[in-house]
Chain A
């Protein structure tokens, strides 16, 4: 055990503070997104989110005090548990919005796919670091791809296209940093794209519709295209400085569907304009930069891979989420980390940040 004081020396305060800052901004907009114009502010979502945050913070404190190697040791078990949970969801999951993504325990709901992402990163880190610098060998790519493929298919069947698609860049990034041959990775990616028509067959109608609408929202302006159109209007009408907090007409008059979850960025864009959007984007960029800084500074490959995996997941989650609010990305239904309403996402994000902080705090040990 390294003494506490020494460990705190490498605690990345910036990363921690940026996380808190993004969360705080998120709360402000969650309040706006869940309140209705002309009525009293609605604090019920905000207070629920804060109680999730308390749990998240406790977990963060616990996790940074356990050496991340312990988590790597347990990686396969965690991975197996999450895959099992996903499989179970398919059987007994509760249907909501046509998607089965939750376990309901009392009034709480748990979304296993959020936790799967972490188990996935840990498992790959453990495997790749175990094959230390032998990833050039294409044979060693098989297991990582299987590790990705099993949950990938399970979440797609949920159906949760977004989470499934997020796993792919994380897999590629970790393999790349782990020393895999770039040519191999490119070949596999190219094959994946070539086989996408096959993949298309597995999609549900509404998912296909969403992808088609992404190409051209006007084909169904009141159906699948509605969300994209209304979201673009919201963000675009914000202009430079926005319509002001609680004054977004798209948001407050209910034109934006799912505005407190997946489309919360539209509220930011409408009410705070380009100015506010850019600030939030910069905060995310700092967050991701700090995570990759830890990856770079950590000599331990497994720690480096954890940071890389989580950094990539975060980066793509932000890019896809914000991209879909302005029509640059298809609507795939993933939350904006730390900002969207949802306990599972918040807790999982917090665990992920804790793991990265954990790696950062112990990087000099090795």
Chain B
């Protein structure tokens, strides 16, 4: 019977089908079950916002704002050409850029990849409404860092950058993911581990189009800790304005405890450029940039101190009793050592002076002799005692140490003995010596506060915890020596012929010292460092202007305006 063989053939096929079902549903059940779970359960990360940065009075300096990114899920894009056209038309971006982003999206076809970052709210709404044409496009809210005062105190804050693969290895255990931002400089870098939030996540059920359906569980994100700074926004803005487009640095600190009230380094930059889209060229300019805008000159810029170093010479010579406050040296406009002649800045000379007058006049010839009297070893020792040659320990990254030369140093690095002529250069803050503005400020503070070396700091409070504040270290300078130097610094500003007379403020007694540091690159660097009120100092200021000429001019004037503003604010 032919029907019989036919039904036999069909039976065989049915048995094969049954075996197929057993193979799929029984033997491979686990594999397929896992795949079905993967299909619909996704972890959607929720950004843990970065901590805010506020000033000493609670003004918000750096915060986060909501940015809407137009992202695409490559897998769900319908027709590419229509998708590109629609985006081009709605967001006014070039199709080339969109195609580039799509290329990136293709590598992660199931994950949203930003095509156009930071779009207007109106456009975002318009896109949501056109969901039909733009399938695969999602609006992703992201938290973006926002530096409210643009380039003010930019070097204090630093900037952010996307974590790179190498860093990711180390940061993974802290919940870092690809494309997360990490501090690249400034406080953003120094306090990155406090500022960064812990991302949370939502475990959601999604349908075939990746649309969320049902939330299975939520792990709340933990926001990063807020930083409260010692910086006073008002003063900071003034300092930034005063420095203007001059290259240099200005710092304001409380000499009693090391609280930094303002820190400016110019040229500055806008840290927003590192988080905003379409700032690629600006970022390149900053990173490569002429004039090194990213360098924080206040703590990382190395300069010869020039005459401000005479404070160290005075301290070492007096403290080691090589000279006394009554010792007088004559200045005839120049000083001869062997065959060489070392000039004073005033050709006709200052005549006979004691140390207080010499500080007031910033007389080189006096200090050549005082320096020789002290000797290179003492100068070196007192420079180090006053905080030079090592980082101040401020809570910012990339602080420079500077260089305090000495016999040993010269023997090791230059393979030669120390020459007496070098001691003369040393005595007026020239030669191998390199200092940072913050080191000069710290030295000034030590004189102002009676001989204590403070550790400067910027962050007062992390979250709700005080950072511990002042750390003082005794320089070992005696009160007599300090009083002599202070007296000299008082004269610098308040004597009618003082080199720093431009720093004078009515109704406020200021002590200070100017500096004009010759350098091989061109015009002299100009320094002013000072403190006020003279009797009971509450504020120390240092101003450095690269190639700024005489310290008694622009820097002294800037310091004057800073003191004046601080007085108006009630600090002094």
Residues of A near B413 (CB, < 8 A) are none
- Closest A residue to B7 by beta carbon equals A292
Nearest A-chain residue to B14, judged by Cβ: A285
| B172 beta carbon closer than 8 Å to chain A | no
Q: List B residues 1-52 near A (Cβ within 8 Å).
A: 1-4, 6-7, 10-11, 13-14, 16-18, 20-26, 28-29, 31-33, 35-37, 39-40
Closest Cβ of chain B to A227, distance in Å, is 11
User: Which parts of A208-256 form the interface with B (CB within 8 Å)?
Assistant: 222, 230, 232-240, 249-250, 253-256
- Decide yes or no: A236 and B208 within 8 Å by CB, A277-B25, A292-B3, A295-B3 being known contacts: no
The closest CB in chain A to the CB of B28 belongs to A236
How distant is the Cα of A235 from the Cα of B207 in the complex, in angstroms? 17
Interface residues on B, range: 35 or more
**Residues 258-284 of A contacting B (Cβ, < 8 Å):** 269-270, 273-274, 277-278, 281, 284
**Is B86 in the interface zone, CB < 8 Å from A?**
no
Contacts of A278 in B (CB 8 A): 18, 21
Contact A253 B40 (CB under 8 A): yes
A249 to B204, CA, bound (A): 13
Decide yes or no whether A56 CB sits under 8 A from chain B: no
Whether A254 pairs with B209 at a CB distance below 8 angstroms is yes
Q: Are B3 and A296 in contact (CB under 8 A)?
A: yes
Contacting pair A255 B22 (CB below 8 A): no
Contact A274 B26 (CB under 8 A): yes
User: How many A residues face the partner with a CB closer than 8 A?
Assistant: 48
B206 interface residue, CB < 8 Å from A? yes
List B308-324 residues whose CB lies under 8 Å from chain A: none
Chain A residues, Cβ within 8 Å of B33: 236-237, 239
The answer on a CB contact under 8 Å between B208 and A255 is yes
Q: Contact at B17–A253, with CB atoms within 8 Å?
A: no
With contact pairs A235-B25, A249-B40, A269-B25 given, residues A328 and B35 touching in the complex (Cβ less than 8 Å): no
Q: Does A80 contact B (CB under 8 A)?
A: no
Q: Are A236 and B29 in contact (CB under 8 A)?
A: yes
Question: In the bound complex, do residue A232 and residue B32 qualify as a contact, i.e. CB atoms below 8 Å apart?
Answer: yes
Q: Do the beta carbons of B21 and A235 come within 8 Å of each other?
A: yes
Q: A118 an interface residue at 8 Å Cβ cutoff?
A: no
Q: Quick one: which of B20, B109, B207 contacts A326, CB cutoff 8 A? A: B20
> Within the assembled complex, what's the spacing in Å between the Cα atoms of A32 and B2?
41
A residues near B2, Cβ cutoff 8 Å: 176-177, 179
Q: Are A233 and B32 in contact (CB-based, < 8 A)? A: yes
CB pair B3 A240 closer than 8 Å: no
- Asked whether B214 is an interface residue with its Cβ less than 8 Å from the other chain, the reply is yes
Q: A249 with B36: in contact, given A38-B214, A281-B14 (CB under 8 Å)? A: yes
Q: Which of A12-20, A156-164, A196-204, A315-323 contacts B (4 or more CB under 8 A)?
A: A315-323
Complex alpha-carbon distance, A285 and B10, angstroms: 9
Known: A38-B214, A233-B32, A237-B35. A274 touches B208 (CB 8 A): no
CB distance from B131 to the nearest CB of A (A): 16
Asked whether A37 is an interface residue with its Cβ less than 8 Å from the other chain, the reply is yes
Contact B207 A239 (CB under 8 A): no
Q: Does B205 contact A (CB under 8 A)?
A: yes
B25 and A233 contact, CB distance less than 8 A: no
A312 at the interface (CB under 8 A from B): yes
A270 to B39, CA, bound (A): 14
Q: Which residues of the other chain, B, contact A236 by a CB distance below 8 angstroms? A: 24-25, 28-29, 31-33, 35-36
Q: Within 8 Å CB of B40, what residues of A? A: 249, 253, 255
Residue from B10, B16, B205 in contact with A315 in the complex, judged by beta carbons closer than 8 Å: B10
Minimum CB–CB distance for A217 against chain B, Å = 13
With A236-B33, A250-B39, A255-B207 as contacts: A296 and B4 at CB distance below 8 Å: yes
B223 CB to closest chain A CB (Å) equals 32
Q: Is the CB of A237 within 8 A of B32?
A: yes
Residues from chain A with a CB closer than 8 A to the CB of B24 are 232, 235-236, 269, 326-327
Nearest A residue to B34 via CB reads A237
Q: Are B3 and A238 in contact (CB under 8 A)?
A: no
**Are A253 and B3 in contact (CB-based, < 8 A)?**
no
Chain A residues with CB under 8 A of B497: none
Does A117 interact with chain B (Cβ within 8 Å)? no
- Identify the closest chain A residue to B2 (Cβ): A177
Q: Mark A316-348, 1 if CB is under 8 A from B, else 0.
A: 000100110011100000000000000000000
A-B contact pairs, 16 of them (CB 8 A): A177-B6, A233-B32, A236-B24, A236-B29, A239-B29, A253-B208, A255-B207, A269-B21, A281-B21, A288-B10, A289-B7, A292-B6, A296-B3, A315-B14, A326-B24, A328-B20
List residues of chain A with CB under 8 Å of any chain B CB.
37-38, 173, 176-177, 179, 222, 230, 232-240, 249-250, 253-256, 269-270, 273-274, 277-278, 281, 284-285, 288-289, 292, 295-296, 304, 308, 311-312, 315, 319, 322-323, 326-328
Given A235-B32, A311-B10, A315-B14; 7 other pairs, CB 8 A cutoff: A249-B39, A253-B207, A253-B213, A255-B208, A292-B3, A296-B3, A328-B20
